Structure 1
Amino acid sequence: MSTPLRIGTRASLLARTQAGTVADLVSARLGLDVELVEISTQGDRSSAPLATLGGTGVFVSALRDAVLDGRVDLAVHSLKDLPTAPAEGIALAAVPPREDPRDALVARDGLTLGELPPGSVVATGSPRRVAQLGALGLGLEVTGIRGNIDTRLGRVAAGDVDAVVLARAGLARIGRLDLVTEVIDPLQMLPAPGQGALAVECRAVDTELHARLGEHLQDPAARAAVDAERAVLGTLEAGCSAPVGALAEVAEGEDGLEVWIRAVVLAADGSVEIRRSATGPLTEAAKVGTRLAAGMLDEGADELMNPPARRQQA
């Protein structure tokens, strides 16, 4: 009997479900036995807002450490949690087929965003969502929230808040789509770069495993889309908690497959925004994202994300 491939995951229901999806793919397509190994991360151990924990990487570092020290062979992450900078010794081996990346509203009485009365309390832990809700000018009161999906949904059921905004992908993966009262149009709210996608990482030195994962698990269109979105984030030097949204799609162009990406950078309250789009060859997805973000920086994106008052406090 062969030694099972150990897949590292956070302990939450969503994380274990996502890792289970990857485990099923590995078993079916690579013919390997698999074992899930739960790893506790800094983000799981603290109830503080993610921005105060450093934002980027709080759900990722412990899993990567477990890969590097040999406790696990692979790690599965929500791709939107990954820092954009490369991690020494770690390879992003595959991006499997992506779930719907849009945000979703779960509101009392089946209401949509436009139907919530002014003053309604909407909960989210994301500065990106806070800013875009503010930009809609609906007069909503936005409050912070942490916890797993069921904890957040419970706040609506208990009447503590009127609505929560969550990633539709997470709700789909754990079978909670029946509670969604509106899937939010990206014209109103662009998702986080990489939202809805999974990242499968392994040790960079495990070149054979890296190659097999890429061949059998990778969705080329999903990989190109998230490469473009992450290039926007990386060029802006914005962390996963910054008020930045981006969404790339792959479509047939005049000269073959192209990537089309939209992105937005906002002031924290949504009062000002910079919104751009770009297209380019699928083979140059990251370059398309980089070019788009460079144009946003030329328009003052850095000042929106890091106003003078915040820079003085830093």
Structure 2
Amino acid sequence: MTTLRLGTRRSKLAMTQSGHVADALRARGHDVDVVEIVTEGDTSRASLASMGGHGVFASALREALLSGEIDIAVHSLKDLPTTPEPGLVVAAIPARVDPRDALCARDGLTLGELGEGAVVGTGSPRRRAQLACLGLGLEFRDIRGNLGTRLDLVGPGEGQLDAIVLAHAGLTRSGLQERVTEVLEPIQMLSAPGQGALGVECREGDEQVLAALRPIDDADTRAAVTAERGVLAELGAGCAAPVGALAEVVDDLDGPILSLRAVVAATDGSGELRRSITGPLGEAEDLGRRLARTLIADGAPALADLSATHPTTASEHAQ
């Protein structure tokens, strides 16, 4: 077939992620040209939620796909809105990298060693809320920027942070594992739906491209993230809603099943609601939606603003 034009954001992490997809396609005999697409999320210093949430990263790539400028777009799946884009399809979800969150702290400290009053940087209401619910007396500061910029904020000195929390997958893909001082287990913090996974999107009905992408789709990863995103979709969660979800494929007596956990947490740390469900891989989206309905029935809307699209200010979420 002709050369595949692969669109990607121009950030270092996005380029690294897209490089993995390009290499997988080249290993299967395809020629791939990487096309850098500039998004508003890459150029603006405004908070992510104030620009419209994670979808701001996807919109420019999707426009390039629909206009025929590129043939495929690589997204961080957690940045991709749950509502399908007319004319496009997520044709491949490659095998996922570790979906957990990671602490990067000064002096090699773990979360439990930070101490009351320690300042933790994060732009994620989900992370902030779950950390606040641990009751460790932490304070929080909103941060944005690429991985290097955020990591540079950690250290001694005025205006610096005691720690930041980032996706372990992004640090791993960027070769920055040595900055991790603790990987946070799901019992402490459930990750964002789709975290650690990539979504490869193309035009619906483009059979040549669809055929090229099918071999790099991982069925277990697709089932897991479909369940997680089903939780978000059923909750109608906005980009600043403090919601986490993680699905894993586990062995049962009759074969592999999905185990799905989700959390809704209060941003002031006053409480959190955790629920779980298991079921067949083929019912992934339904499992996610069923779990979301359980969360709603058990009081999630009273605990947090599920439609939130703008984060609170730093002073409002200091704990």
TM-score by length of 2: 0.93
How many Å separate the matches in 2 of 1:94 and 1:157? 40
- 2:282 is paired with a residue whose SS is helix
- 2:210 is paired with a residue whose SS is helix
Pairing of 1:164-175 with structure 2 (within 5 A)? 164-175=164-175
How many Å separate the matches in 2 of 1:308 and 1:106? 30
How many Å separate the matches in 1 of 2:14 and 2:238? 21
How many Å separate the matches in 1 of 2:120 and 2:26? 41
Pairing of 1:67-216 with structure 2 (within 5 A)? 67-157=65-155, 159=157, 160-214=160-214, 216=215
Alignment length (residue pairs)? 308
Pairing of 1:18-37 with structure 2 (within 5 A)? 18-29=17-28, 31-37=29-35
Q: Deviations over 1:267-292 (max 9, x none)?
A: 22231211100000011111111111
Gaps of 5+ in 1: none
Change (3 A) 1:25 1:142: same
Give the CA deviation at 1:304: 2.7
How many Å separate the matches in 2 of 1:65 and 1:138? 44
Q: Deviations over 1:22-78 (max 9, x none)?
A: 00001112x111011111112112111111111140110000000110111000010
How many Å separate the matches in 1 of 2:16 and 2:54? 22
Give the CA deviation at 1:205: 2.3
Give the CA deviation at 1:301: 1.6
Q: Is the 8 A contact 1:105 1:113 kept in 2?
A: yes
How many Å separate the matches in 1 of 2:271 and 2:22? 43
Instruction: Give the root-mean-square deviation of aligned CA atoms.
Output: 1.8
How many Å separate the matches in 2 of 1:184 and 1:267? 19
Pairing of 1:3-42 with structure 2 (within 5 A)? 3-29=2-28, 31-42=29-40
How many Å separate the matches in 1 of 2:110 and 2:213? 40
How many Å separate the matches in 1 of 2:150 and 2:293? 36
How many Å separate the matches in 2 of 1:308 and 1:38? 32
Q: Which residue of 2 aligns with 1:60?
A: 58
Pairing of 1:196-275 with structure 2 (within 5 A)? 196-214=196-214, 216-275=215-274
Gaps of 5+ in 2: 310-319
In structure 1, what residue type is equivalent to 2:99?
Answer: P
Give the CA deviation at 1:4: 1.9
How many Å separate the matches in 1 of 2:210 and 2:233? 23
In structure 1, what residue type is equivalent to 2:233?
Answer: G
How many Å separate the matches in 2 of 1:15 and 1:49? 19
Change (3 A) 1:13 1:308: closer
> What is the aligned-residue identity percentage?
60
